[in-house]
Amino acid sequence: MNRPEKLPSDVLPRLASRLEGIEPFHVVVLINRAKELEAQGRSIANMVVGEPDAPTPPLIAAAGMRAIESGRISYTSSLGTAELRDAIAAWYHTRYGVTLPRSRVVVTAGSSGALLLTMGTLLSPGDQVLMADPGYPCNRHFVRTMEGEAAGIPVGAESAYQLTAKLVEKHWAAKTVAVLIASPSNPTGTLIDHGELQRIHAVVKARGGVLIVDEIYHGLTYGKRDRSALEFADDLFVINSFSKYFGMTGWRLGWMIAPEPYIAPVDKLAQNLFISPSDLAQRAALAAFHPDTVALLDKRRDVFREQRDFLLPELRSLGFGIPVTPEGAFYIYANCERLTDDSYKFCWDLLEKAGVAIAPGLDFGDHLAKQHVRFSYPKSISVLADGVERLRKYLGK
């Protein structure tokens, strides 16, 4: 596919070759333009950003304030504070019935930090990681940054946009070392079947590889219980975050659960790359597991579900194709081929002419990218309704 906005490597005096394989996060470029238009006084129906409007839960904010008032915010252990690592381990027990020692919990700068550490720990130059296309755009770039090769496997409605054991078997190559699964997925909001995940794990293990499971949207499922990969195996990497369910995007805090033998190399890398995760964010996050916070977050999740239930039929009635009902995260990945032959141009035109911000499929891979757009729906129903109305007018429906 002809991808716009490549870095001008030919005009820079010096640019690492890995940057050739790293594309801008197109959503961010579009978000910046949406902000620019808003600053000029235009109102924008914003369904592009992957974060809810809601503020930091009050107990978390208060714990953060107390940390600041203590007058001392310091480096912590590079793996995170003992208190927070214990609290995360306890969360796995409460939530999934899984017993974890503190030693396997690594606190990171968002799940982005965890993904970077995981790739940095597992990949040698040229090593390949299999992942679904469409998928979260940064994943392939984490791999590229660590001199690996991301292989996007086209997936569609037939597998709920998730990899299957058969697909992993088919695409496994001599250079493949790992498989990355995200469930619920960004951009599709779909979940992987727990049995299928176990079958993928078996295929990966039989080939001497490592399974990485991104569970960052856990807590945000509508109907189905989200089940952690740690419920059936210890020899895999699980990535999670305080960003989404816990509503702490800007605090930049996440974590990973790694197999015990990997902790020392992960620690070594974390010391060098980050020294430590944010002390302030870690102290605030201790309040994330408080029952009052969890009750508030579960209420917010129920509201996201209502927002999905509002937007889904409206989009279908406008002509978007959504063959699989998204059961998690807060995204709808919609086929727009009945409405345009180029989703990238469509998104920009929609923003400029109708003031509706949505993400082009291009951001999430190559597979049928021109035929898809992503809606992010954790917005008030009035914003969603306004967006739908503007879309209706723009499409002449």
Tokens standing for 393?
């007018």
**Paired tokens of 28:** 């961010």
Q: How far is the CB of 241 from ligand PLP (least distance, A)?
A: 3
- Which one, 134 or 148, has the nearer CB to ligand PLP? 134
* Amino acid, res. 23: E
Least distance in Å: CB of 272 to ligand PLP?
A: 19
Q: Is 30 in the site for ligand PLP (CB under 6 A)?
A: no
Lay out the site mask for ligand PLP across 213-232 (x = CB under 6 A, - = otherwise). Answer: -x-x----------------
Q: 77, 198, 249, 325: which one contacts ligand PLP (CB under 6 A)?
A: 249
DSSP E strand boundaries for the chain = 45-46, 105-108, 128-133, 149-154, 176-182, 210-214, 237-241, 254-257, 331-335, 356-357, 359-360, 372-376
Helices 137-145 and 110-122: crossing angle in degrees, nearest 10, is 40
With CB under 6 A as the contact rule, the residue among 46, 56, 76, 111 that binds ligand PLP is 111
> Among 188, 243, 293, 343, which residue interacts with ligand PLP (rule: CB under 6 A)?
243
Pair of tokens at residue 213:
């499971």
Taking the least distance from each CB to ligand PLP, the nearer of 252 and 283 is 252
25 part of the interface to ligand PLP, by CB under 6 A = no
Told to check if 52 binds ligand PLP by CB under 6 A, we report no
389-392 CB contacts, 8 Å cutoff, 24+ apart: 390/45, 390/354, 390/355, 390/356, 391/318, 391/350, 391/354, 391/356, 392/318
Question: How far apart, in whole angstroms, are the C-alpha atoms of residue 267 and residue 244?
Answer: 25
- CB-nearer residue toward ligand PLP: 111 or 343: 111
CA dihedral of residues 254, 260, 264, 268 (deg, nearest 10): -20
Closest CA to 188 of 24, 310, 328, 31: 328
Structure tokens at 155: 């997936």
Residue 148 CA neighbour count, 13 Å, CB half? 27
Q: Does 241 bind ligand PLP (CB under 6 A)?
A: yes
355 binds ligand PLP per the rule CB under 6 A:
no
Q: 113-142 mask for ligand PLP (x: CB under 6 A)?
A: -----------------------x------
Site string for ligand PLP, 76-95 (x = CB under 6 A): --------------------
Measured in whole angstroms, how far is the alpha carbon of residue 315 from the centre of its chain?
23
How far is Cα 316 from Cα 318, in angstroms, rounded to an integer? Answer: 5
Q: Is 186 in the site for ligand PLP (CB under 6 A)?
A: yes
Among 112, 198, 325, 340, the residue binding ligand PLP under the rule CB under 6 A is 112
Q: Which is nearer to ligand PLP, 238 or 388 (CB)?
A: 238
Is residue 254 a contact residue for ligand PLP (CB under 6 A)?
A: yes
Closest CA to 239 of 366, 379, 122: 122
- Pick the piece of the chain touching ligand PLP (CB under 6 A) from 109-117, 161-169, 204-212, 314-322: 109-117
**Residue whose C-beta lies closest to ligand PLP:** 110
Which residues contribute to the site for ligand PLP (CB under 6 A)? 50, 110-112, 136, 182, 186, 214, 216, 241, 243, 249, 254
